[in-house]
Structure 1
Amino acid sequence: MVVCTRRHMDMAVGRASCWLLIPLLLLLLPSASAGGRGGGLFVVVTFPGLAQDVGLLVCEDDYVVSLVPPGVDPHEYQLRPGDLRLLEDADLIISTGHTPFEARIRELVEAGELGGVLVEVPSIPGIRLLENPATGQPNYHMPIYDPLNYVRFVEYVSGLLADMRPSRAGDYEEKAEEVVRTVGEMVEEAPELGLRAVADMPVVPYAVSWLGVDVAYVMLKEPCVPATPGELMEVEEAMAEGEVGLAVVCYPVATSSSEQLEDMAREHGIPVLYVPSPMSQGSIPDKLSEVLEGARALSTPEVGGATSLGPLALTLASALLVAATLAVVKEYAGR
């Protein structure tokens, strides 16, 4: 015999209430296939840094997700089943187009297995690819670290978003204009360093070329491909003979090549400009702001003549000199 107490009745009612609530919750929650995006667009990017940049452009109900988690080397990353499900649901896929797993994404799109629009950064109209000074080949390592390339990236992606969601086209355009304005102001304020440099990573030329820095040598030619002993000797000679006046190092410093470059610069009395790694947290405008701050510090006379004042600094210095001269003349004339 089963004795039905008040406690048992309460438990039964509770269970029944839970089962009745489940269908309602399923209706209220966003669809799993929509990635939690509601009525907005679902954008999948390959690198975590790209998520920060696309996040500057999307609307509040769009959804952006990165396949590669922060801190993971994308060159060693492989697609997981969960990644494939995300890619299948994506309206837009943004890739740097140069790592093995990104090549696999391209194959899936070309085979018709993914329905989203694929954007590969090097293929965006107007993107300028520099030459990797260590290999002589096109440099595919984060070309949007260059401000002009970044502006073209922003304009192209925001245009696609507007085409995919015409009802919010004005919002996408407004957000893109704000980002472009911010980057443009940094370029206008940038000093012209006019230096040849040694870099630790192949991404560095994009981060500093807008500052008048010509990267002539790279310590880590490609991921896991350091400079040869002969190439290191060439860098040492260039430093000793004054052919290079700057070392550029990505931070956080994560490779022995970067540490070796720091030691060589210290030995030869060459200043070091630190630039944020493209894999670190923050958008490209955030990183460019830090690069600009470092460049300004290098453009001061305290560096010992290794760098030159930027255009704005020169204008300001000239104005101050003229003002000082006029003050002296007036004081002398009044005697």
Structure 2
Amino acid sequence: MRKKSFDQQYLETLSKRTSLNIREQKQLQSCQKGFEGECRTDEVTVQVTKGLFLCLDDVNLVFDDQRIQIDKLLQIGNRLYLIDIKNYHGHYTFHDRTWYCNGKPLTHSIFGQIDRAHDILARIFAENHVNIEIIKVLVFTDYEVELDIQEETGVVVKYLWDFCGWLQKLCTESGQRGSIPWKECLESYTVTPYRPVTDFSSEMTRKLTSGIICPNCNGFEWQQHRYYLCCQHCGYCEPKETAYVRTICEYGTLFFKKTLKIGELMKFLGQNYSRSYLERVLLKHFQSLKFKSKQFCYQNNGIEFEYWFSDRKKYFDKLQKRIHWGS
């Protein structure tokens, strides 16, 4: 499953508890648009390849102190397709080795990221004696984008709607995949996705709205029952246990540099919620960190509930189904 970037998780969580400034709004829109395009490309790739070809998504590598992020790597036959996904809008022209958007020259090359990723991949494979041809592919996913490429580029450039047919043809014409250990080769160079240096702790003057957010309408007003909460705005019901765990994950996403401490979490939850219940939830679902200090705390993965507890989805789904039991 492709995951949202750390920036997108952070900004989406932040937007529910305070107003975003103009820079943050633009960054969030860019993240969401990019993620949407990547997911559409993933769907097309899965439909066409039917899982028969080795594929990696959102690959983050470091080689010789250089870091790269690759949207998709797909092996078909004995070729490795390095796929960069762009959800750009507008009319783009490439001529005289320069990119133009709506007639104005860009200060950067759209090929820059994929060229750099290709060079570093090639160096990694050469150093590890992995022999595989790398094909650069640029996929534009916005349905209103217009492309006019007037010279040879060394990059396969496709709209999403013709990427599907092109990929189908490659799969049909390909022979049996060779046993080329490119995936195993990359494992020792793989790192976690980029994360900003600072979290919300550095925002000294901004205030967050405390409480549990309704995942259906983003409201904060709940009617509390013994086993579940009911939103007073939209009527959505959520198990109490799930609501607490989800909110702890929201705190962790915003304060990803910090460990999870009961006092700070209670401030985040607000005065309407139970400290003793929070303690039970932490003990049940989060990993305790036993430091020498007297302050007891828990490990913070710094990601959304959906990703943090992806391996326990069935458990929380069952809670949702029985929210009214014993109420």
Class of the TM-score when normalised by the shorter of the 2 chains = under 0.3
Q: Which structure has the highest strand share of the two?
A: 2
- Name the structure, 1 or 2, with higher relative contact order (CA <8 Å, separation 6+): 2
TM-score relative to the length of structure 1: 0.23
Q: Which has the larger radius of gyration?
A: 1
Please identify which structure carries the higher helix content: 1
Superposition TM-score, scaled by structure 2 size = 0.23
